[in-house]
Structure 1
């Protein structure tokens, strides 16, 4: 059954213009990270609705994420710290996520928005969907096939309830890295995805 939202409104001639204006307004009031996260949710929903045949076009085509300014003190981890993080004994989902983030240098929101069918595992990259492809190295290349084993669609980084949220991913990472941080606070996913220092 189609969702109880007026999908026909998304196929009107003004839908694309209205979505652009709404996204710009949301970014201005809620911030770039929130707007980007909501854009990822919207584009995933639109993609699924198109697959179901409920929408013919893509009213969000051409919408691009807003650049996010790095917070002060948000510099990347050094090479020793990155190695310590990637060596932590954590579940496969977290280990694969951390490797993809570090090796691709991509925005966390973009990585969390990936679906299984976005991956081109032999080529170690994502299939292009308007954005430039994400590429990863040996660590993620060894882990991703294990993570997607038996799955052909759905969120790449999933929970029992659906897609792994940024908030939950950040909480798990900070808690896991607290023992490694000399200050005892734990590090952030943004520090992991930033280029390594040294």
Structure 2
């Protein structure tokens, strides 16, 4: 596992092991000797402007186009957006009710790109999950995750991530050959959120607004977005290129 995965899963395992020990199910701690790993920050998580533009040109279905656009415009977490229900939408105000991290009910705001696609995606439905699978829900699926009008299930995070990763493999590997696509890794959904918040920070969005957009409780978590993105740095370097200035 990579460092981020180990560092995320280790405390979760520790809590589970502590509970099992209190129940008398185990005596020892199998995580003894497993330590957090150094995780140098990745400064390339924000997608470049050309990558974002190329993403909107991909030949994908209406569900994916709407989902990706909504993720980027709202800078929300993917699992929050997937929990949107049709009855919780306010299209005229370009917002909808989501269940945020921690269980709080909050507003998710979007822009015109999402607004243009939503009516076709909803297709006159009045309730149920906004983003649906292509097939009917399996027997025993939770009622809240089944559309009462189509009997289709709510799209899962795992499947949404798979679709995004598969469709962005060539975008993530621009010098690769299409014949090698099965051996490539695409982008993750989290990078849309990261890209949107980085653009906000570059445009001078205030700290309180960034906190509201990201729904982070602490300013400390904004540090990962407050750095200029690749395009911003590239423009800065190009504008100060002596050779370019002489040609101008």
Same fold at TM > 0.5 = yes
The structure that has the greater radius of gyration is: 2
Q: Distance in 2 between matches of 1:82 and 1:103?
A: 12
| Alignment match, 1:83 | 53
Q: Determine the C-alpha separation between the residues in 1 that align with 2:77 and 2:13.
A: 18
Residue 154 of structure 1 aligns to a residue whose secondary structure is: coil
Whether the aligned pair in 1 keeps the contact of 2:84 and 2:97 (CA below 8 Å) is: no
Corresponding position of 1:92: 62
| Alignment CA distance shift 1:128-1:176 (3 Å) | closer
Structure 1 position 181 matched with structure 2 position 172: yes
Report deviation, 1:118. 1.1
In structure 2, the partner of 1:4 is none
The correspondence for 2:107, drawn from 106, 128, 133, is: 133
2:84–2:98 CA contact under 8 A, matched in 1: no
The correspondence for 1:169, drawn from 140, 160, 165, is 160
Between the aligned partners of 1:164 and 1:170, the Cα distance in structure 2 is 10
- Report how many residues are paired: 135
**CA separation of 1:30/1:142 partners in 2, compared to 1, >3 Å: closer, same or farther?**
farther
How far apart, in 2, do the equivalents of 1:95 and 1:119 lie? Answer: 18
Structure with larger RCO (C-alpha < 8 A, sep 6+): 1
Cα distance, 1:30–1:106 mapped onto 2, change above 3 Å: farther
- Matched with 2:94 is 124
Give the direction of change, closer, same or farther, for the CA distance of 1:179–1:121 in structure 2 (3 Å limit).
same
Distance in 2 separating the partners of 1:139 and 1:30 = 41
Higher share of residues assigned strand? 2
* Residues 29-178 of structure 1: pairs in structure 2 closer than 5 A: 29=12, 72-73=41-42, 75-127=45-97, 130-159=104-133, 160=135, 161=137, 162-178=153-169
Contact kept, 8 Å, 2:97 with 2:105, in 1: the verdict is no
Cα offset, 1:97, TM superposition: 0.3
The CA deviation at 1:167 is: 0.5
- Aligned CA RMSD, in angstroms, stands at 2.7
For the residue of structure 2 that corresponds to 1:98, the secondary structure is helix
Q: Deviation at 1:92? A: 0.5
TM-aligned CA deviation for residue 29 of structure 1: 2.1
SS of 2:92 mapped into structure 1? coil
**How many Å separate the matches in 1 of 2:80 and 2:113?**
19
Q: TM-score, normalised by structure 2?
A: 0.49
Change (3 A) 1:186 1:149: same
Displacement after TM superposition at 1:30 (Å)? 6.3
Q: Is the 8 A contact 1:102 1:192 kept in 2?
A: yes
* CA distance in structure 1 between the partners assigned to 2:121 and 2:40 by the alignment: 31
Determine the structure 2 residue equivalent to 1:193: 193
* Separation in 1, partners of 2:11, 2:112: 39
